[in-house]
Structure 1
């Protein structure tokens, strides 16, 4: 039996970071009109303009996407941490961690890179670390 304390701690840290990501998505949804006006002013300095409605719709859509993807990753990570209780399920939890990392990579366009890197490390640790074989097993009669 391998003690997987490091994987569990990093998994909990990743869950907390994903919950913070959900809050970031909610913050994007709560932006007021002055925020969009400032973005439009910056775009006008660059020589481009966008209608405020289009800009607002894009930011709102990305905020919702960020919230949903972070929530999915948090749930997958939580299930993976729960599966780490036994060595037989370590492979399943490693796969769940890697799926969660890929979900964060694609869904947040790489903006959630800290929990993504943590999940890749945890996933590889869960897949690679194997229990040591005992020298004295009951397979061979003494």
Structure 2
């Protein structure tokens, strides 16, 4: 049986980072009207403007998407860490970690880079590391 302490620790770190991502999405949703005015002033300097309603809807949609995708990745990571307890389920755990990494890559447009990289590494480690098979068995002592 392989000790998968590294995968578990990195999995817990990625869960914490995904929880921070959920908080970041909530922070995006809680911005006030002055934030949209500042964005519009920056856009005016570049020669373009957007209606406040359009800008507010797009920021709200991105915040919601960031929260949902981070929450999905956190849940998949929690299930993956739980499945790491046995070697038989390490492959399933690795697949869950890789699916979580791809979800973060696509859903957050690469903004959740740190947990995405951690989950990708954990997924590969879970899939690649295999238990040592002993050449000598109890039937034929060395």
TM-score in terms of structure 2 length: 0.97
Unaligned segments of structure 2, at least 5 residues: none
Partner of 1:127: 127
Q: Which aligned runs of 4 or more in structure 1 are off by greater than 6 angstroms?
A: none
What is the RMSD computed on CA atoms of the aligned residues? 0.9
**Take 1:127 and 1:106, find their aligned partners in 2: how far apart are those partners?**
22
Correspondence 1:13 to 2:35: no
**Take 1:137 and 1:18, find their aligned partners in 2: how far apart are those partners?**
44
Unaligned segments of structure 1, at least 5 residues: none
**Take 2:58 and 2:2, find their aligned partners in 1: how far apart are those partners?**
47
**Take 1:17 and 1:55, find their aligned partners in 2: how far apart are those partners?**
27
SS in 1 for 2:47: coil
Q: Deviations for 1:67-94, whole angstroms, at most 9, x for unmatched residues?
A: 0000000000000000000001000000
Correspondence 1:23 to 2:20: no
Q: Deviations for 1:51-107, whole angstroms, at most 9, x for unmatched residues?
A: 011000000000000000000000000000000000010000000000000000000
Count of matched residue positions in the alignment of Structure 1 and Structure 2: 141
Correspondence 1:108 to 2:108: yes
**Take 1:141 and 1:117, find their aligned partners in 2: how far apart are those partners?**
44
Partner of 2:63: 63
**Take 2:11 and 2:91, find their aligned partners in 1: how far apart are those partners?**
15
**Take 2:137 and 2:76, find their aligned partners in 1: how far apart are those partners?**
36
